[in-house]
Each structure stands twice: as structure tokens, then as C-alpha cells.
């Protein structure tokens, strides 16, 4: 038996996925029954040189291995069968035998997989959707092979077999396209357009001749007119990745480089093409890590190198986001761009806090302002903000909150006028504090509040008591 220590040692991560090139490589398969036959099938498909160690071969294995490059050792396994570094698959019909063989294999320091016994294995064999050369491998990390197979059959049903043809087309044209399109980024974009567009569609329909003609035409066109870069100015919303738009997500996944700042939440960054270069251009209050002019210049520089540049901004790029300034520079420099709106913090925080920004009984208008402190004061049109029947949303107002409340009271709002502070709105860590113009500045003194924060002033805040719905993680 494997000792307890070894068992717990073999507790592992969910796995590092990799595809091994076993062509012409030696693999030892222990077992001669139905299970071993299944493993043999996959090994043979990879061109591995298989040595089967088994006292008896099933009829299926006999037939399969006939005339193949297989060595059959007609005996029980021995301790000296396993050399360090070899790949061993144990698939006898007896789990007691499997355990004993796995023990020997582990002692010999080899890579070993035991059929249906992930706890004895140091590598797992995933379920497979085979659209060679495309392979979709699915693993549950040994936790639930049934679930992995279920998912495999769903993907199998959903993925047309013609994806194999698409893969083969890519294989056949690889060298040719490499010659025509020298720059790897442009090449990737070229492929994306081909496979996503009409050519991909033709192949999936089985119209190979037309696809090849279209492919040659695309290559000629590219040589005459190579593509230049583009900037995607994308609003990432306030934090919850579910609030991204489809267009935002699509562009995030096809960019070559991303310029992002602190407001973009980590779960959203995880959705950006993992191969894209990441450039942090974060800004903190009163501390512009990268000055705006440099950001503008960076966007132009990357785009002129032919890259697809993602400028990812928190909320909406056109609301207190300097998005306008950035694309002004692009327009002046003749760089093409597109703008994708995002859910602005006011909309996101209001929804997730259960505070409707307008309401027929409470507010007929809604104003967005920034509450940035300058020289210790907040410079706003106070008489306009202190009018009744409206909601005022204040971005960047945490530090100026006492001044804001004081000025609003001074310009005519009652001191018991409702106000809310939403910190980390729409995220699992969202925190909402409510009070009045008089009480909230005191309340926040005793609280640990994490940025970013948004302030909502107006009678609509009182609706939260009834309408709060979003539950944060406990
Ligand atoms: N373009 C952004 C705003 C950028 S200004 C938008 O449309 O939302 C930065 C300010 O936005 C922060 O200081 C804060 O006031 C507000 N903000 C952004 N995300 C927020 C969030 N998740 N929760 C609360 N406030 C947020």
C-alpha cells in the first residue's frame, strides 16, 4: 500500500495542461484487458512506441497490435521495468494489481497514470474531443471523471467535425502565410480575420475549393495593403465582469496590448487576451502615475506599430474618464479607433445599492459631478446642486465629503436630506453607508472604507431600505 504520507504528498493542484509529443517515444503500458486496449488506442494514434507488459492479451488488443510496432512482454511487471523519466500507463483489470504496480513506478520516479485511480497517478489523461489537429482536452482533476465526460460529450455534439478541416487548412497554409505576412502580430490578426470570416464559414460548409481561392485572394490583398493598428477605447464598467458588453469582451480578447488603470477590476483583467502585453498607466488621486500626455502618446505609438491597442477604462470612457482627450490625439494623428461605452459608476452603484437615480415621486433629474478637492475646497455650482427633486451623484468625492455636505446645507438642503456612500460598487466587496447630510461625515470617520467610492444625494436614497437586493460575499 502507498503510505499515508505519500498519499497526502500526492494531493495536487488541478493540473498543468500540456500536450506531449509521443511520436516515436517509448511508453510502457501495463495490462492486457479492455482498459489497456482503450489506452493503447490513444497511444497508437500519437505514434508512440508501446511496450505492453501483460501475461495475457485480450482479443481486441491482439487484433489492434498485429503488424504494429509494439513489443509485448508476456509476463508480470518487474521492478526494473521502469526507468527514471519514462512514461507508464497502468491499466490492468485489477485495482489491487494497479496499486502495487503504481507503488513500484513511484519508487522508480517515473511519470505514471493509473486508469480510474487518479490518487495513484502523477499525471492524468483528459477526456478528448478530437478534431485533429485540434484537440479539446477536458479534465476534472480526477475529482469527477463523469462530469468531465459529460462536458466532453456536450462539446463534441456542439463542435462540427469540419473543424478538423479548418485545422488542416491552417496547417497547410502556415508556411505560405508566414512568408507573406512577416510580422507575427499582423499574422495573428490575418488568421483571426480568415478563420472568423467568410473563409472559415466556407470550410465549415465543406466548400474547400472556394475557401482556397478566397485564401489566395486574401494573401494577395494583404501584400498590397498591410493593415495598420487601431485603438479600442473600452469602458469596463464599475467592477462586476458580468456588466461588460459583448463588444467590450470581443475586443478585449483580440487585442495585442492593453493600457489599463487601477479602476479596472482584477476579474475583468482576467478576461483580457492572456497573450496581450500589459501596460499599467494607473492614476491615484493627486498622483498621476503616468501623465495624460504620455498615455495619449503611448496609444499612438503602439497603434502605429500596427497593434490592436485596448485602452481599458473603469466605468464609461466618456464620463470623467478623459476618454475624449485620448481619442482627440488619435484623431489628430490619423489613428483609427472605436469607442465602447461601459456602465458608469453612477448607474452600476445605484442599481447594486437599490437606489433608483430617478423616481416619479422623488427625483425628476439627475446630475453627475466630480467632488475633487482643490486647495481644500470643492468648486461646484452649489445653488444648482441644492435644488429639490433631483439626485446628485458625486464621483471622486470621499475626501471632500464634509465640505460637500456643509455646502449643500448652506445652500438650502435640509440637514436630514438622505445621502449614501457606495464603496467598491457592484463588486463582491461592495459596501453601502447611508445617512443624512448631517450624520454621514461623522459615520464615515469610524469606518474602514476602500476606494473607489461614489456619493449619491437625494430622497431616492431612502428607497434602498425597500429595494436593496445585491448580496455581497460574507
Ligand atoms: N469613467 C468612470 C469614472 C472615473 S472617475 C465611470 O464612468 O464610472 C473615478 C471615480 O469613479 C472614482 O473615484 C469613484 O468615484 C467612481 N467609481 C468608479 N468605479 C466605482 C465603483 N466600483 N464603486 C464606487 N465608485 C466608483
Cβ-Cβ contacts under 8 Å for 54 (sequence gap 6 or more): 30, 31, 32, 33, 36, 61, 72, 73, 74, 92
Share of the chain above pLDDT 70, in %: 95
Interval between CA 465 and ligand 1 midpoint (Å): 23
Active site residue 261: yes
140 within domain boundaries: no
Which ligand 1 atom is at minimum distance from the Cα of 321? Answer: 1
Q: Which residue out of 261, 324, 452 has the highest number of ligand 1 atoms within 8 Å of its CB and is therefore the one to mutate?
A: 452
CA 37 to chain centre: 38
Interval between CA 314 and ligand 1 midpoint (Å): 7
Q: Are residues 245 and 321 in the same domain?
A: yes
* Residue 236 belongs to domain with CATH number: 3.40.1010.10
Higher pLDDT, 306 or 302: 302
- At 353 the pLDDT is 98
- Where is average pLDDT lowest: 81-95, 114-128, 278-292, 372-386? 278-292
d(CA 422, CA 185): 42
Residue nearest to atom 2 of ligand 1 (CA): 315
Which ligand 1 atom is at minimum distance from the Cα of 397? Answer: 15
The active-site residue, picked from 49, 283, 301, 304, is: 283
Which ligand 1 atom is at minimum distance from the Cα of 316? Answer: 7
Interval between CA 345 and ligand 1 midpoint (Å): 5
Interval between CA 454 and ligand 1 midpoint (Å): 7
Residue 415 CA: distances (Å) to CA of 372, 411, 412, 460, 463: 22, 11, 9, 16, 18
d(CA 19, CA 420): 53
Q: Are residues 339 and 254 in the same domain?
A: yes
Residues with CB under 6 A from ligand 1: 238-239, 263, 313-316, 319-321, 344-345, 349, 395-396, 422, 424-426, 452-454
12 within domain boundaries: no
Final residue belonging to a domain, choices 305, 328, 343: 343
Residue 84: how many CB atoms within 10 A of its CB? 8
Number of folded domains in the chain?
4
CA 175 to chain centre: 30
pLDDT of 90 over the 90 cut: yes
Which ligand 1 atom is at minimum distance from the Cα of 317? Answer: 1
Q: Which residue out of 241, 315, 340 has the highest number of ligand 1 atoms within 8 Å of its CB and is therefore the one to mutate?
A: 315
d(CA 315, CA 444): 24
Residue 467: how many CB atoms within 10 A of its CB? 12
Active site residue 283: yes
d(CA 90, CA 81): 12
Which ligand 1 atom is at minimum distance from the Cα of 425? Answer: 23
Interval between CA 434 and ligand 1 midpoint (Å): 18
Interval between CA 81 and ligand 1 midpoint (Å): 64
d(CA 416, CA 408): 11
Kindly indicate the confidence band of residue 4, based on its pLDDT and cuts at 50, 70 and 90. very low
Angle (CA) 277-280-284 rounded to 5° is 170
Find the domain containing 84 and state its range. Answer: 21-125
Q: Are residues 190 and 117 in the same domain?
A: no
pLDDT of 466 over the 80 cut: yes
Q: Which residue out of 233, 234, 238 has the highest number of ligand 1 atoms within 8 Å of its CB and is therefore the one to mutate?
A: 238
Interval between CA 420 and ligand 1 midpoint (Å): 15
- At 12 the pLDDT is 66
Higher pLDDT, 84 or 457: 457
Kindly indicate the confidence band of residue 123, based on its pLDDT and cuts at 50, 70 and 90. very high
pLDDT of 3 over the 50 cut: no
- At 285 the pLDDT is 55
User: What's phi and psi for 136, nearest 5 deg?
Assistant: -110, 115
Q: What is the mean pLDDT of the chain?
A: 90
Q: Are residues 364 and 399 in the same domain?
A: yes
Residue nearest to atom 6 of ligand 1 (CA): 315
Residue 158: how many CB atoms within 10 A of its CB? 8
Q: Which residue out of 263, 267, 346, 425 has the highest number of ligand 1 atoms within 8 Å of its CB and is therefore the one to mutate?
A: 263
Cα-Cα-Cα-Cα dihedral sign, residues 311, 312, 314, 318: positive
Bridge-partner residues for 377, per DSSP? 374
Question: Residue holding cell 460637500?
Answer: 404
What is the Cα Rg of the chain in Å? 31
* Helix segments in 159-197, DSSP class H: 163-180, 184-196
How would DSSP label each residue in 96-124? HHHHHHHHHHHHHT-EEEETT-GGG-SS-
pLDDT of 474 over the 70 cut: no
Which ligand 1 atom is at minimum distance from the Cα of 395? Answer: 15
Label residues 38-71 b or e (16+ Cβ within 10 Å = b).
ebbeebbeeebbbbbbbeebbebbeebbeeeebe
* Report field, pTM of the whole predicted structure over 0.75: no
- Per the CB < 8 A criterion, the answer to whether 170 and 191 are in contact is yes
The arithmetic mean of pLDDT across residues 315-340, rounded, is 94
The DSSP bridge pattern shows strands 308-313 and 257-260 to be: parallel
Question: What is the total residue count of the chain?
Answer: 474
Q: Are residues 92 and 173 in the same domain?
A: no
Packing angle, helices 184-196 and 163-180, rounded to 10:
150
36 within domain boundaries: yes
Interval between CA 18 and ligand 1 midpoint (Å): 40
Kindly indicate the confidence band of residue 124, based on its pLDDT and cuts at 50, 70 and 90. very high
Residue 230: how many CB atoms within 10 A of its CB? 19
Q: Are residues 329 and 354 in the same domain?
A: no
Q: Are residues 243 and 186 in the same domain?
A: no
* Residue 378 belongs to domain with CATH number: 3.30.950.10
Q: What order of strands is seen across the sheet that includes strand 453-457? A: 365-370, 390-395, 453-457, 418-423, 431-436
317 within domain boundaries: yes
Q: Are residues 385 and 462 in the same domain?
A: yes
- Per the CB < 8 A criterion, the answer to whether 260 and 237 are in contact is no
Cβ-Cβ contacts under 8 Å for 402 (sequence gap 6 or more): 441
The active-site residue, picked from 81, 240, 261, 316, is: 261
d(CA 14, CA 19): 16
Q: Are residues 91 and 106 in the same domain?
A: yes
Amino acid at each position: 500500500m502507498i503510505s499515508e504520507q505519500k498519499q497526502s504528498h500526492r494531493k495536487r493542484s488541478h493540473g498543468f495542461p500540456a500536450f506531449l509529443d509521443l511520436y516515436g517515444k517509448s511508453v510502457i503500458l501495463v495490462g492486457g484487458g479492455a482498459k489497456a486496449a482503450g489506452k493503447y488506442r490513444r497511444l497508437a494514434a500519437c505514434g508512440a512506441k508501446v511496450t505492453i507488459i501483460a501475461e495475457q492479451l485480450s482479443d481486441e488488443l491482439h487484433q489492434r497490435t498485429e503488424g504494429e510496432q509494439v513489443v509485448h512482454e508476456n509476463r508480470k511487471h518487474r521492478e526494473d521495468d521502469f526507468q527514471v523519466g519514462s512514461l507508464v500507463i497502468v491499466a490492468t483489470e485489477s485495482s489491487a494489481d494497479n496499486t502495487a504496480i503504481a507503488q513500484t513506478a513511484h519508487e522508480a520516479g517515473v511519470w505514471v497514470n493509473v486508469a480510474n485511480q487518479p490518487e495513484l497517478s502523477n499525471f492524468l489523461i483528459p477526456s478528448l474531443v478530437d478534431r485533429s489537429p485540434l484537440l479539446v482536452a477536458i479534465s476534472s482533476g480526477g475529482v469527477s471523471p463523469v462530469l468531465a465526460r459529460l462536458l466532453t460529450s456536450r462539446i463534441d455534439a456542439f463542435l462540427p467535425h469540419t473543424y478538423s478541416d479548418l485545422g488542416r487548412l491552417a496547417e497547410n497554409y502556415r508556411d505560405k502565410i508566414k512568408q507573406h505576412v512577416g510580422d507575427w502580430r499582423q499574422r495573428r490578426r490575418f488568421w483571426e480575420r480568415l478563420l472568423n470570416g467568410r473563409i472559415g464559414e466556407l470550410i465549415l460548409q465543406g466548400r474547400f475549393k472556394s475557401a482556397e481561392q478566397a485564401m489566395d485572394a486574401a494573401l494577395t490583398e494583404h501584400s498590397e495593403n498591410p493593415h495598420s493598428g487601431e485603438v479600442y477605447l473600452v469602458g469596463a464598467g464599475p467592477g462586476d465582469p458580468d456588466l461588460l458588453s459583448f463588444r467590450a469582451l470581443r475586443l478585449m480578447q483580440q487585442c495585442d496590448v492593453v493600457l489599463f488603470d487601477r479602476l479596472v477590476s482584477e476579474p475583468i483583467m482576467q478576461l483580457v487576451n492572456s497573450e496581450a502585453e500589459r501596460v499599467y498607466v494607473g492614476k491615484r488621486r493627486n498622483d498621476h502615475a503616468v501623465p495624460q500626455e504620455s498615455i495619449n502618446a503611448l496609444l499612438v505609438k503602439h497603434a502605429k506599430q500596427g497593434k490592436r491597442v485596448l485602452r481599458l477604462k473603469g466605468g464609461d470612457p466618456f464620463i470623467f474618464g478623459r476618454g475624449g482627450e485620448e481619442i482627440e490625439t488619435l484623431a489628430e494623428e490619423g489613428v483609427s479607433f472605436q469607442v465602447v461605452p461601459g456602465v458608469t459608476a453612477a448607474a452600476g452603484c445605484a442599481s447594486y445599492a437599490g437606489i433608483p437615480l430617478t423616481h416619479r415621486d422623488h427625483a425628476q433629474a439627475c446630475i453627475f459631478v466630480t467632488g475633487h478637492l482643490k486647495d481644500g475646497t470643492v468648486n461646484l455650482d452649489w445653488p444648482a446642486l441644492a435644488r429639490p427633486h433631483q439626485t446628485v451623484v458625486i464621483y471622486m468625492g470621499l475626501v471632500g465629503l464634509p465640505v460637500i455636505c456643509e455646502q449643500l446645507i448652506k445652500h438650502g438642503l435640509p440637514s436630514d436630506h438622505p445621502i449614501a456612500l457606495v464603496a467598491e460598487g457592484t463588486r463582491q466587496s461592495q459596501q453601502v453607508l447611508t445617512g443624512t447630510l448631517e450624520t454621514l461625515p461623522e459615520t464615515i470617520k469610524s469606518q474602514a472604507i476602500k476606494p473607489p467610492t461614489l456619493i449619491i444625494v437625494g430622497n431616492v436614497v431612502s428607497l434602498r431600505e425597500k429595494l436593496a437586493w445585491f448580496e455581497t460575499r460574507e
